[in-house]
Amino acid sequence: MCGRYALLNPNGLFSRFGVTNQLDQLSPNDDIRPTQLAPVVAMGHRAAYMRWGLIPSWAKDPSIGKKMINARVEGLEQKPSFRRPLRVSRCLIPATGFYEWQTTGRSKVKYQFGLEDGELFGLAGLYDTWLDESGEKKETFTIITTAPNELVGAVHNRMPAILDPADEEVWLDPDETDSLHLLTYLRPFPADALRAQIV
């Protein structure tokens, strides 16, 4: 799973992901947690603040979002909460690192993974819009996870799906709705392109 991540260069997301609008109050955050608001790049290259923990549009109880911080790529196109967003509401979650914990006996060691150059990358995600009782829209997102590469696999049995920059345009393209084709982009990121450090 991916339960924490970092975004230390938030203003870089506009040029890095070709964002078409601006966001206010961006600030670096080295510990973004579930249920917090975070900047996301939605389809059409629209930047928005969304809450981490996907609430499906049809949900009766918004607390379901706390259980939907991640979406496993396996069976993604079949699960009711994710199959529609996979076709019509995909997003990138800008990050400069993500965290995983290695458990040995009773101790836990926290690792941060990021690009060798420390630059921004895009985690593959899905989002949905939920209406509360007053009719106010709440946009929420989930991070897709996949099998780990060799580097992450030494610490944890899952990792977030990091998109190759060459594939980001397709992921954000509203005209791309073929679920099975989209799944081919959700693969483990090359281990030699990432670094790991204990934090």
Q: Which residues are catalytic?
A: 2, 100
Torsion-angle region of 75 (φ positive above 0: left; ψ -120 to 50: alpha; else: beta):
left
- Integer Cα distance of 66 and 110 in angstroms: 22
Q: At 64, list the tokens.
A: 């379901």
- Integer Cα distance of 120 and 123 in angstroms: 10
- Integer Cα distance of 135 and 13 in angstroms: 30
